[in-house]
Structures are given as C-alpha cells and as structure tokens.
Amino acid sequence: MPFNTIHFLILLPPVAIVYYILPHKARYFWLFLASFGFCALWSTISALVLTGVTATTFISGLMIESSKKIKSKKKRRARQRAWAALGIILAASALLSFKYFSYITLGVANLLQMVGVSMQSPQFSLALPLGMSFYVLRAIGYLLDLYKTEDAAQKNVFKLALYLSFFPYFAGPIEPPGDFFEKLAKVKRFGFSRLQEGVLAIGWGLFKKMVVADRIAVVVNTVFERYNDYAGFIIVVAAILLAFQIYSDLSGLLDIARGVGEILGFDSPVNFIQPLFSTSMINFWGRWNSSLSGWFVDHVYEPLGGGSRPGFFESVNVIAMFLAYGLWHGISLKYALWGLMHGIVVVSARNSQTSKEALTHSLRIRTTLFSYRLAKIIVTFLLVDVTWIFFRASDIFSGYEILQRMVSEFNPWVFIDGSFLELGLGRNEFSLMITGILLLIVIDICSISNDIRQKIQEQNAAFRWLVYLFGIFFIIVFGVYGPRCNPSPFIYLQF
C-alpha cells in the first residue's frame, strides 16, 4: 500500500493509537501485525514470500549462533559459513525468482537455442512483492553480521520479522539490525512534539511526491518516451527535470517513512543531505540515499577487500560495488552502465585529487570563493544527470540517442515560443511545477544550517497550525492525482 494513498493515511492513525495504548511488551507484536497486514493488503503473495524469507533467515541465524558452541575453530567457522551461505542463497533466490524471472528465462532460452534446443520464453513476469528488494538486503546483512561478528541472533521470530518488514521502511532506509533492535527495546511514550515532527516530515514528503515529482513526470515521460520528436534544449530541460523528479520522488518516500517512524517513536537515519549541492561525485554519494549505499559499502565493498590494498585493487572494488548497486535495480545493461559510470567517475575523482589540487594552485584559482564552489556543484549535477539519462531511458541505445539529440540542434527560441507548454502541462501547471522546484531548492538551502521542522515547532501555536493547514490544503488542491484519484506509485517501489 503506497504512502501517498488515502487508504494509508486513514489506517495510520488507528495503528499509532493502538500502539501507544498497548503495554510496551506487546507493542512490537502489534507493529508486526500491522506490517504484515500492510504487506498482505498489497498482495497475498507479498505476505507469503515475506513469511518464507523471515523463516529461513530466522532459522539460519539461530544455527549460526548455535555453531559458536563448537570448540574447533575450523569446524565452527565452516559450520557458520555453511548456514550463512544457505540463508543468503535462499533469500537471494527468492529475490532472483521474482525480480529477474523474465531475464533468467530469456537467458536460458537463448542458451538452449545456441545448442539447437528450441524453447519459447514465457510471455509474462512475476509481480515483485512489496519491499522485497529491501528486506532481502536486510536479511543478507543480518546473516553476514552474525557470521562476521559476535552479535547474538534474534531469538524472537516476530521481532526479526518486524526488522525485515517494518511497514514505514518497506522501501528504506536500511538500518543495521543491532540499531533497530535497540530502538525496539526502548520504552516509548507519546509526545506531541514527536507527532508534530512526524506529521511535518510526512507532509513535506507528500509535497515532494505529489506536487513536484508527479508533475515533473508528465514532462519527462512525454520527452523520454518520444525523444525522436524533440531535440536541443527541450531534451536538455527534460534531462534536468529528470534529476529533480528522481530526487523529489525518492527523498519524498523516505521523508514519509521517517515521519511515520517518528510518530511511532523510531528515530530514522537521515538519507538525503542536500545532494543537489554536492561538490563532487564522492561528496554526492555521501549525501544520496546513505543507508542503501552504506549497505553496499559494508556488504560488497568491504568483503572484496575495501581499501586494504590501495591503488588498482581498491579501484576495482569501488567499481564492482557500484556495478552491484546498479544491477540491484534490475538485470539490464542500462543499470549496469549507470553503476559503472558512477564507479569510474568516483575512482577517477579519488585518483586525481592530488593533480587537481596542483592544477588549481598553478592556475591561482581561489578554492574558497563561492564561484568555485558553485562551478563544482554545477559540474557534479551535470555528471549525475547524464547517468540518470541512461537510468531512465528504455535501454542504453536509447540513452545514447537522447544524448545525441540533445546536442543535435541549437534552439534557444523554445524558451519563448511556448514549446514547453506542449509537453503535457498547461501554463498554470508548468508554472506550479517550476514553483515547486524552486521551493524545494530554497528549503534545501535553508536546511544546510537550520532544522526547518524544529524552527516551525518553536513558533507560536497559531503560526504552527497555519503552516499545517496551509500544507494540507496545498497538497490536496495542487497534488497530481491519477485515474480515480489514485496517485502514481513511487519510483523505487518498482525496485
């Protein structure tokens, strides 16, 4: 059940009320029931798959811990390794079956055809269960942590199930299991200030999604799905809007998740730290979806050796991590290319740091000036945006053609001849989209040195309620709604 539906907003208050009425020892079970309930409302198969992944992860975790009693270190590690591998393979196999079914069957059909065996690939794909890509990562991380550390396995299957499926976190963030269980154990009391913070986060997330991202999507979809009809600045603007769409959609989703978590007493990690103002690709990845990228650092980059062997091998590890990150979105060349592009640029930036410093010094460029920082922000934004083009395009060849058409024509007159009003949005809608983007940028700038939600809470009650009511009114009136008032799903729920 997406966060931006009226059904979710109606069901959230009773879930929170019952949660705070129940005694502390019973609350985790209520959240477990609520999480599985939301999952079952999405689809029955989602609940069944989640049950299977939870069961195999729980049993594997217990067996890893029980293996610690074996006195022989060699036998102990071998047994633990076997149970960890079994649990990870089962969880990953479930994900592969649903997420990559069509790719796998097509690959098998092509291989059989090479040896003379004819096989028709099934003309259907399995619907991905809600949050599966994320809770499988949590399950794998949980088992790897048990294998690599002395952490104790979770003995309560319902608490483990809640860690994997906590409903605000269906699409992130991904917290380390120890952090989540520690928060779960704390006694939480209802606080009006926490409720206010949570509601503000939910409202801001809905604004990003329904007012900004979904409105941008109309223009982006029009251009990217018919890119042969457009050229020059039309595609340039659509590509720039694409970056704002993905940022607004994904950060809006995690803002809502954070807000719901705060209402229930869970302080969620901050995932986005003004990534629009990143000054390098390295800086960008320190600001963008940090919990998901952190998972790949901990469980892909570090096991490969991390930075233990500086130079070539470290660079290979970085690129391999980003390749895995890209393929996590789907078995597609465009996602692989997206990951490789980020990995190569990050490695290049790390390896050229000394030469860049020498160049700026020799050219007497003052790196402390705003103009220098602004130039770095613009360059970083453009680099990231190029990768998003391949990410959004139907395939890498379409992405290449979009880039070609972007530079095939110099047509600045499109900014004054009304061409942008023929991309699916009327004048008022287009103006509202631009206003939303500008507001997003202004809030991000203000958030660099201030906690906006805290500032609002410090104001008088009349001002606070004015902000709340205006925000609700603005989202209801100017939000983008689909057929039968069903808003479009969040982009990352498809992954």
Strand partners of residue 172:
170
For residues 346 and 342, give the distance between their C-alpha atoms in angstroms, rounded to a whole number: 6
> Is residue 274 in some structural domain?
yes
Is residue 145 helix, strand or coil?
A: helix
Would you state the pLDDT for residue 119?
56
Least confident of 344-353, 360-369, 412-421: 360-369
> Is residue 189 in some structural domain?
no
Mean pLDDT, range 67-86, rounded to an integer: 82
Q: Which two tokens stand for residue 97?
A: 């079956």
For residues 52 and 185, give the distance between their C-alpha atoms in angstroms, rounded to a whole number: 25
For residues 338 and 315, give the distance between their C-alpha atoms in angstroms, rounded to a whole number: 17
Instruction: Give burial (CB, 10 Å; 0-12/13-18/19+) of 172.
Output: buried
| pLDDT greater than 90 at residue 128 | no
Domain's final residue, options 183, 205, 222 = 183
For residues 431 and 433, give the distance between their C-alpha atoms in angstroms, rounded to a whole number: 5
Tell me how far the alpha carbon of residue 9 is from its chain's centroid: 21
Q: How far apart are the first and last CA of the chain?
A: 15
Strand partners of residue 170:
172
Q: Which of 88, 52, 84 is nearest to 66 (CA)?
A: 84
> Is residue 352 in some structural domain?
yes
> Is residue 188 in some structural domain?
no
For residues 16 and 10, give the distance between their C-alpha atoms in angstroms, rounded to a whole number: 11
Would you state the pLDDT for residue 389?
92
pLDDT tens-digit map of 420-469: 888 888 888 888 899 989 988 988 888 877 777 777 777 777 787 788 78
For residue 172, which phi and psi values (nearest 5 degrees)?
Answer: 105, 165
Do 306 and 159 fall into the same domain?
no
Do 113 and 218 fall into the same domain?
no
> Is residue 75 in some structural domain?
yes
Domain's final residue, options 183, 213, 235 = 183
Identify whether the C-beta of residue 173 lies closer than 8 Å to the C-beta of residue 196.
no
Is residue 172 helix, strand or coil?
A: strand
Residue type, 146: L
Q: Which of 380, 388, 292, 385 is nearest to 334 (CA)?
A: 388
Is residue 367 helix, strand or coil?
A: coil
Do 310 and 445 fall into the same domain?
yes
Do 351 and 388 fall into the same domain?
yes
Would you state the pLDDT for residue 306?
76
Identify whether the C-beta of residue 263 lies closer than 8 Å to the C-beta of residue 196.
no
- Where does the pLDDT of residue 29 fall: very low under 50, low under 70, confident under 90, or very high at 90 and above? very high
| pLDDT greater than 50 at residue 485 | no
Would you state the pLDDT for residue 102?
62
Would you state the pLDDT for residue 443?
87
Mean pLDDT, range 185-196, rounded to an integer: 79
Would you state the pLDDT for residue 450?
74
> Is residue 356 in some structural domain?
yes
Do 178 and 224 fall into the same domain?
no
Do 346 and 433 fall into the same domain?
yes
> Is residue 409 in some structural domain?
yes
pTM of the model: 0.86
Do 406 and 474 fall into the same domain?
yes
> Is residue 213 in some structural domain?
yes
What is the tally of structural domains in the chain? 2
For residues 101 and 484, give the distance between their C-alpha atoms in angstroms, rounded to a whole number: 31
Instruction: Tell me which residue has tokens 């020498």.
Output: 358
Domain's final residue, options 124, 150, 183 = 183
The better pLDDT of the pair 243, 311 is held by 243
Which residue range is the domain that position 457 belongs to? 194-494
For residues 108 and 120, give the distance between their C-alpha atoms in angstroms, rounded to a whole number: 10
pLDDT tens-digit map of 277-292: 888 888 898 888 888 8
Do 136 and 205 fall into the same domain?
no
Rama region for 30: left / alpha / beta (φ>0; ψ in -120 to 50; rest): alpha
Would you state the pLDDT for residue 1?
56
Do 480 and 398 fall into the same domain?
yes
Identify whether the C-beta of residue 326 lies closer than 8 Å to the C-beta of residue 292.
no
Q: Which two tokens stand for residue 266?
A: 């869970």
The better pLDDT of the pair 22, 311 is held by 22
Q: For the chain, what percent of residues have pLDDT higher than 90?
A: 15
Is residue 454 helix, strand or coil?
A: helix
Nearest-10 Cα torsion for 196, 201, 207, 213: -170
Determine the angle formed by the axes of helices 132-148 and 44-66, rounding to 10 degrees: 0
Do 238 and 370 fall into the same domain?
yes
Compute the Cα dihedral for 405, 406, 407, 412 and give only its sign: positive
Do 147 and 227 fall into the same domain?
no
Do 66 and 102 fall into the same domain?
yes
